[in-house]
């Protein structure tokens, strides 16, 4: 393989307790730590391992968002990516628009493999990879927990509801990374300093000629209901009586 394209999304760090704005218009991100979407970080780690085994020559990281997403791209470069591309958009884009933008970059870069996280932890749509494969007209392997390459073919072990499924696909292809695919490497300070000198290309979303009109409209946000306090019972008959009072039996 010559090139691997990896998508990185800027999301609220998974260790942060998410807060909804008082007016219900969205998630409060003021002063909140932002990071690479964890599944995208796994996707990048796998791409780097493929390159380190000599099975690819270049790893390119891509993000779609505001200029602030440069921070996550620089982290990707510090992990070991060769160069980065930021598609600047002042508005959030839905999965279909993201897939169309990735397709434009694929036409420009001509990668042999695209690896994305299976989902983003902010909206959990689990759609971009599948939509991209359909638009590109190439095979897809989602929820990957193991990858083995043999020339222009890839054997992918997928995590499915009933266990594990192994399939073989031809390259170029789209693969989405599951949690157990690998454990991402720790970024060291020298790598962060080196990343500042690596190329980061900025492209306007308008230059890709992809409309950013979202088909999905988010009307309101609200936090989950607080968990109700539990009750203590002394024996089984009391438990059954309590369940009957709640209409559960």
pLDDT the model gives residue 249: 79
pLDDT the model gives residue 213: 64
- Shortest CA distance to 102 belongs to which of 200, 199, 203? 203
- Is residue 139 within 8 Å of residue 31, measured between CB atoms? no
- Is residue 124 within 8 Å of residue 216, measured between CB atoms? no
Domain count for the chain, please give it.
Answer: 1
Q: Can you give the CATH number for the domain in which 217 is found?
A: 3.40.50.620
Q: What's phi and psi for 221, nearest 5 deg?
A: -120, 150
Task: Reduce the secondary structure of 147-183 to three states and give it as a string.
Answer: EEEECCEEEEEEEECCEEEEEEEECCEEEEECHHHCC
- Is residue 103 within 8 Å of residue 135, measured between CB atoms? yes
**Domain of 223?**
3-245
Dist. CA 11–CA 69, nearest whole Å: 9
pLDDT the model gives residue 60: 97
Report mean pLDDT in 10-residue bins for the chain, 249 residues.
95 88 82 93 97 96 94 96 94 90 95 96 91 97 95 93 93 96 93 92 90 74 82 90 87
CA atoms within 13 A on the CB side of 219: 0
Q: Measured between alpha carbons, how far apart are the two ends of the chain, in Å? A: 59
Please count the other Cβ atoms lying within 10 Å of the Cβ belonging to residue 193: 10
190 by Cβ neighbours in 10 Å (0-12 / 13-18 / 19+) ranks as: exposed
Kindly report, residue by residue over 175-191, the tens digit of the pLDDT: 999 999 999 999 999 99
């Amino acid at each position: 393989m010559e090139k691997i394209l990896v998508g990185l999304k800027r999301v609220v760090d998974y260790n942060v307790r998410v807060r909804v704005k008082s007016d219900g218009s969205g998630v409060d991100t003021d002063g909140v730590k932002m990071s690479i979407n964890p599944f995208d970080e796994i996707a990048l780690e796998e791409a780097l391992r493929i390159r380190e085994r000599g099975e690819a020559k270049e790893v390119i990281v891509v993000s779609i968002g505001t200029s602030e997403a440069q921070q996550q791209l620089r982290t990707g470069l510090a992990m070991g990516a060769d160069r980065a591309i930021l598609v600047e958009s002042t508005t959030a884009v839905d999965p279909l628009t993201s897939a169309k933008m990735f397709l434009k970059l694929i036409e420009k870069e001509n990668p042999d493999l695209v690896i994305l996280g299976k989902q983003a932890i902010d909206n959990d749509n689990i759609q971009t990879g599948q939509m991209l494969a359909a638009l590109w007209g190439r095979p897809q392997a989602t929820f990957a927990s193991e990858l083995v390459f043999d020339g222009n073919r890839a054997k992918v072990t997928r995590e499915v509801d009933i266990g594990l499924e192994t399939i073989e696909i031809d390259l170029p292809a789209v693969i989405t990374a599951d949690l157990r695919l690998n454990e991402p490497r720790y970024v060291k300070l020298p790598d962060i300093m080196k990343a500042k000198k690596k190329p980061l290309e900025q492209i306007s979303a308008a230059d890709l000629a992809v409309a950013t009109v979202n088909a999905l409209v988010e009307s309101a946000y609200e936090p989950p209901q607080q968990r109700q306090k539990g009750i203590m019972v002394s024996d089984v008959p009391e438990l059954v009586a309590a369940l009957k009072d709640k209409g559960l039996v």
